[in-house]
Structure 1
Amino acid sequence: MSISEKEAERALTEQVVASFAATPDERLRMLMQSLVRHLHAFVREVEPTEAEWMAAIRFLTETGKMCDDVVRQEFILLSDTLGVSMLVDAINHRYATGATDTTVFGPFYMRGMPERAYGENIALSPGAPALVHGRVLSTDGMPIEGAVLDVWQTAENGMYSGQDTAQPHGNLRGRFRTDAEGRYAITTIVPVSYPIPTDGPVGRMLDATGRHPWRPAHLHFMIDAPQHRKLVTHLFDEADPYLTSDAVFGVKPSLMVAYRERTADHELARRFGFDGPFCEARYDFVLDRN
């Protein structure tokens, strides 16, 4: 390529950048101009053929077609598997405050799930019985009363209710509230590791690049409390084999918990109504003040 051709290519980039110069919103102007510079730099680096660029456009088109307003969000899945979701999370939580670590939101959250009582069972499908409990605290160590814990996890088949239409509505989902001492308790099943959906463009990308689709076993939490920052996080089973190779890069050591085996004569069994062996996991969440 001649110097004049390279100069013409760079002049094109600057022409496109300049086209956004009059954007009234300063932040939007910066975002669009930076996007153009980085996207053009990528194209110059890899020099895609026209066929490859059309394949990329088809990939993004198909990704959009796999999205809906209920449970399937292929673009979130793409962001997750490229590590972008965790990078955005890291950038937005750079400063150590003593609060519980955040992680990815994921593509399978559903609004409007049932309100649950303290210790209520959210499992409407089979699985190994479990109790997950602890407290929600502020960074000063004070308990937070009335914090709302929105909880969701997969069934034993590795699928979420809503995603799997055979599951009862609201299975393994619910909204819990802490008591005056900041305590919460959830009766559920031990989570299982599972593959992210591979029936769409993201699955084909993973297959083509030799990556596995598995996520380690986890329970999702979104916790809201007045005068505190919303917390979006997971609790991971510390014994899971996929902790070091999570397909969406979401694992943090501070979010691992142990599921301890308990017998039917354990004090917690009597309190929460277990009539046989179960597993117990305990975790205290800490929220930042606004």
Structure 2
Amino acid sequence: MSTETAATAAGSGRSATETFQKKVREGGAAVDHARVDAIAKDALSALHDVIRKHKPSYAEYDALKAWMIQVGEDGEWPLFLDVFIEHVVEDTVNADRKGATGSIEGPYYVPDAPEFTSEGTLPMREDEAGTPFLFQGTVTDLDGNPLEGALVDFWQADDAGFYSQFAPGLPEWNLRGVCRTGADGTFKIHTIKPAPYMIPHDGATGAFIEAAGWHPWRPAHLHLKVSAPGKQLITSQLYFEGGEYVADDVAQAVKPNLVLHPTPAESGSGEQVTYDFALDPA
């Protein structure tokens, strides 16, 4: 029987690549040749400067080519780029926002998750492992006015560090859901508290990390996309105070105001936290 613990980097990579390709097919941007020209020239120039500085041998150059081929064969370009590049893209894209703070999306988002209104529990197995966790808050505009009908699109790994649709044996929508805020802009999402996990590391991305002497760990985190009519969508990740790898996330995506401070749940079971989102105008 196929189970989540049998997940491999190649399997996860193929799923991430297929998801990304579907996203591009359905909404890819037109090519701006002037932008491609400017960015490509600067990127290549920067790489040329690195080569001149470090003077790699032909053996090292061939190792790079072989590794790049392997990244493609493993389907890991979405993983590699989202771990090592996306955090800088996200910083520049959201530099002028006045409201909620953004973070990287990562390679494991899937649209069209099951929807519920105002308060609900994420789809999960009857014996889902992990500490019960209530994530609640309010979605407002920049003036603090609540936004009714805002969407809080939420996804996360399970207690073993695996994402549904990217590891075998997990129900399709496990720990994925979309909450629509009530008239007062509030939402309540019942889930479990995730654990830190290693990014898939038995493939080419893992070989890169090992060669550099780095670690492949991400801190425990929650993923969200929050949107409302007439407002800018914000994509974010939220972490946990005192959690492992918060200070040295392999994806370099942690920001101080994205760190949660959970308290014991009022229900007496597990933990809870309140975190609000102010959305910028579109």
Tell me, which stretches of 5 or more residues in structure 2 are unaligned? 1-30
Tell me which residue corresponds to 1:152.
155
Tell me which residue corresponds to 1:76.
78
Distance in 1, Cα, partners of 2:249 & 2:121: 28
Distance in 2, Cα, partners of 1:24 & 1:288: 27
Amino acid at match of 2:218: R
- Residues 1-290 of structure 1 correspond to what in structure 2 (within 5 A)? 25-67=33-75, 74-82=76-84, 84-95=85-96, 97=98, 99-122=99-122, 123-124=124-125, 125-262=128-265, 266=266, 269=267, 277-290=269-282
Aligned residues of 1:215 and 1:246 also touching (Cα < 8 A)? yes
Distance in 1, Cα, partners of 2:246 & 2:103: 14
Cα drift, residue 177 of structure 1: 0.8
Tell me which residue corresponds to 2:19.
none
Distance in 1, Cα, partners of 2:48 & 2:212: 24
Amino acid at match of 1:192: A
* Larger of the two Rg values belongs to structure: 1
Distance in 2, Cα, partners of 1:142 & 1:105: 27
Amino acid at match of 1:79: L
Cα drift, residue 129 of structure 1: 1.0
Give the structure-2-normalised TM-score.
0.82
Cα drift, residue 210 of structure 1: 1.7
Tell me, which stretches of 5 or more residues in structure 1 are unaligned? 1-22, 68-73, 270-275
Amino acid at match of 2:188: A
Calculate percent identity across the aligned residue pairs. 33
Deviations 1:153-176 (A, max 9, x none): 111111111122111110000111
- 2:121 partner SS: coil
When residues 117 and 126 of structure 1 are mapped into structure 2, their CA distance, relative to the original with a 3 A threshold, is farther
Cα drift, residue 256 of structure 1: 1.2
Give the structure-1-normalised TM-score.
0.80
Cα drift, residue 96 of structure 1: 5.3
When residues 150 and 51 of structure 1 are mapped into structure 2, their CA distance, relative to the original with a 3 A threshold, is same
Distance in 2, Cα, partners of 1:200 & 1:87: 24
Q: How many residues align?
A: 249
Relative contact order (alpha carbons < 8 A, sep ≥ 6): 1 or 2 greater? Answer: 2
Distance in 2, Cα, partners of 1:245 & 1:133: 27
Over aligned residues, Cα RMSD in angstroms? 1.9
Amino acid at match of 2:180: R
When residues 209 and 28 of structure 1 are mapped into structure 2, their CA distance, relative to the original with a 3 A threshold, is closer
Aligned residues of 1:154 and 1:172 also touching (Cα < 8 A)? yes
Aligned residues of 2:152 and 2:180 also touching (Cα < 8 A)? yes
Cα drift, residue 24 of structure 1: 8.5
Greater CA deviation, 279-288 or 88-97?
88-97
When residues 180 and 117 of structure 1 are mapped into structure 2, their CA distance, relative to the original with a 3 A threshold, is closer
Aligned residues of 1:80 and 1:249 also touching (Cα < 8 A)? no
Amino acid at match of 2:81: S
